[in-house]
Each structure stands twice: as structure tokens, then as C-alpha cells.
Amino acid sequence: MNLFDLTERVAVLTGGSGTLGSAMAKGLLEAGARVCIVGRNLDKAAQVARWLSADGARTMALAADVVDREAVQRVADAVLERWGRVDVLVNAAGGNRPDATTNPNQSFFDLPAEAIRTTIDLNLLGTVLPSQIFGRAMAAAKKGSIINISSMAVPRALTRVVGYSAGKAGMENFTRWLAVYMAREVSPAVRVNAIAPGFFLADQNRAMLVDQTTGVLTPRGRSIIDHTPMGRFGEPVDLIGALLWLASDAAAFVTGVVVPVDGGFSAFSGV
């Protein structure tokens, strides 16, 4: 079990105040890490930090928009000032916009360019910038683990989510590119990988998957379950095992991979 031990290591999670981000933060904290929760809303980030650790000895909460380089740099400066190092970066910030999504009333041909652009920026640039800024600290230490959070929208074409799919696809390509760059140009001990969650109920997708009045699955939710061999949505805790593996020395010879945590969704043809 010592392979998975993160005692005294410092982990930074963008999007750490979300449903999945907060669960991953808890997993890292319980493995011994000190954890910085980064979110656009400082109050939400601070609430998660207090939930994780009432005395705040091993947690901190900071606000930043991940597509704002100066804001992310301020977070990095604060983390380095308090803890002196960054060992793990989890790029969990991401999301979608309704106007970058097709539906019966909104054709692909009418999607605003601005909506698609900002959605791609959030999911791609919002991973690149933190990787540059926190990756610099890892490069100086010649060791670290960057873990990006991808999506089933990359290996499988999902209906509706145009901008989100494009952003996450770019992010997966960037994951592999940066893994090679870090290993060859910086240090083989700076690793870059990704986790691709299947379908998890969270604030941003719950209304699309479950009828909020009856609790019954929507047609989209039913289609997802029918195409998930395990027959259920993921629970946030289901991500912890893969996360701790990639963050720790247990994955010392693993870089440039995307690990699906999806109940078999990506393996199933639907037939």
C-alpha cells in the first residue's frame, strides 16, 4: 500500500468544488496529501475545504477562472508560498454551455461561434494554462503528476454536445503531447495522464438524465444505462482508485494514457 501513499505531497484540483472534484479531493486527502481546492466561486471552494478538514491544516481554498492566466498564477504563488511544492495537479475544471449544444429547438447550423469557442476554451485552454503554470514547478522539482479529466465524448460520438466534445478531444490529444514533452524534455518522473469518466450524475447533467419531478430516467438517461454494461451511473467514489494510482508512485512507469472509468460504456457496441 505504500506505493499509493501521498503523505505530505501537495495536490491542486481545479474544479475542486464540483461533485466529482470534491470527491477526488477527499480521496487525495485521505491518502495523506495536502489539498488545494480551486474554483471560480471562492465560497463554494471554501465550503469544500471546510468539509474536508475543519481545522484547515491540510487544505486551502482559492478562486480562479482556469482560462485566466494571471488568476491561475496567483493560485500557484499562494500554494508555493504556503506549502513550497506542487506534486499533483488534477485538471477537473470543465463543462458545457446550453447554447453550444444541439436540441430539437437548436440546430447545429445555428450554434453561435462564441458559445462553441468559450466551451472549447474552458475544456482545452482551461487544462493547458494550469498545466503550464503548475507544470513549471514540477519541472523545477523534476517530479510530479498531472491528471486531466476527459470524457466519454471523446472515444464515442455523443449527440448534442458539440463544443464540449471538441474541447475534451483536444484535451486528450494535449495529454499525450504533454506526456511526451515532459518525459523527453523535462524529466521522466513528470507524468501526464487522464481519466475518462463514464456517466456520473452531477449538477450540470442531472436534469438531462433524470426527470426532476418523477425521478424517472429521461430517454437520454435510459439510453446511457442501456449502453453501460454495468447498468448504472457512476458514483463519485468510483474515480478514487484510478486517481490515486495515477497520482502516486504506483504509476511510476505510466504516462500518456487515458483511463476509462465508465462501467464498460466504451467497450460496448450497443449490440
Cα dist. 147→52, 55, 127, 159, 214 in Å? 21, 27, 10, 26, 37
DSSP category for residue 35:
E
Residues 80, 140: Cα–Cα separation, whole Å: 12
Q: What average pLDDT does the segment 82-98 reach? A: 96
Residue 269 has pLDDT above 90, yes or no: no
Residue 67 confidence (pLDDT)? 98
Distance, in Å, from the CA atom of 189 to the CA atom of 253, rounded to the nearest integer, reads 8
Q: List pLDDT tens digits, range 188-240.
A: 999 999 999 999 987 778 877 898 889 899 989 999 999 999 999 999 999 99
| pLDDT at 81 exceeding the cut of 90 | yes
Percent of the chain with pLDDT over 70: 100
Query: Which one is catalytic: 33, 163, 164, 196?
Result: 164
Q: Which domains does the chain have, with CATH numbers?
A: 2-202+237-267 (3.40.50.720)
CA distance 267 to 126: 28
Mean pLDDT of 26-37: 97
Least confident of 104-108, 126-130, 267-271: 267-271
Which of 181, 173, 77, 186 is closest to 134 using CA atoms? 77
pLDDT tops 80 at residue 165: yes
Cα separation, 262 vs 15, in Å, equals 20
One-letter identity of residue 180: V
Q: Within the chain, where are the H helices?
A: 19-30, 42-52, 69-83, 113-120, 126-141, 162-181, 206-209, 219-226, 240-247
Please answer whether residues 247 and 32 qualify as being in contact, where contact means their C-beta atoms are separated by less than 8 angstroms. Answer: no
pLDDT band at 62 (very low <50, low <70, confident <90, very high): very high
Cell numbers given for 94? 470543465
Comparing 137-141, 152-156, 172-176, 260-264, which segment has the lowest mean pLDDT? 152-156
| Mean confidence (pLDDT) of the chain | 95
Cβ density class 36-55: b for 16+ within 10 Å, e for less = bbbbbeeebbbbbbeebeee
| Least confidently predicted of 128-132, 208-212, 257-261 | 208-212
Q: Under a CB-based contact definition with an 8 Å cutoff, are residues 246 and 182 in contact? A: no
Instruction: Calculate the CA 163 to chain-centre distance.
Output: 17
What is the grid cell recorded at 156?
464515442
**pLDDT in the model for residue 1:** 63
Average pLDDT for residues 243-267, to the nearest whole number?
A: 97
Compute the average pLDDT of residues 45-59. 93
Give the pLDDT confidence score for residue 211 in this predicted structure.
Answer: 85
181 flagged as catalytic: no
Q: Is 2 helix (H, G, I), strand (E, B) or coil?
A: helix
Closest C-alpha to 20, from 129, 146, 150: 150
Contacts of 57 (CB under 8 A, 6+ apart): none
